[in-house]
Amino acid sequence: MAIGWRIGSQFWGQGYASEAAHAMLEFALQDRGLDRVISINRVSDNASENVIRKLGMVSEREPAHPLYGFPLHVHAIDLTEFQA
């Protein structure tokens, strides 16, 4: 399962991304029965990084984008670590 989104700048900082991300994480782990979820963001995307950390996801590695070479940040969370 992969999920991506963009939010208009006029809505930044209002908690919409955090709320939506938490709902999707809960859906993936509890409703769909997945054992693990990962998140991938561009290293320079601090706003996404903050949302990911609020979810309780932990950093795993920093690979390069396979086509463009810029650094990515991979985070993960297991069902046993998730706080609904």
* pLDDT, tens digit (0-9, with 9 covering 90-100), for 22-65: 999 999 988 998 999 999 999 999 999 999 999 999 999 999 99
Q: What CATH code is assigned to 10-81?
A: 3.40.630.30
Confidence of residue 84 (pLDDT cuts 50, 70, 90): low
Cβ-contact 28, 34 below 8 angstroms: yes
Q: Which two tokens stand for residue 52?
A: 């990911």
Q: Indicate the burial class of 14 (C-beta count within 10 angstroms; 0-12, 13-18, 19 or more).
A: exposed
Q: Which two tokens stand for residue 84?
A: 């609904």
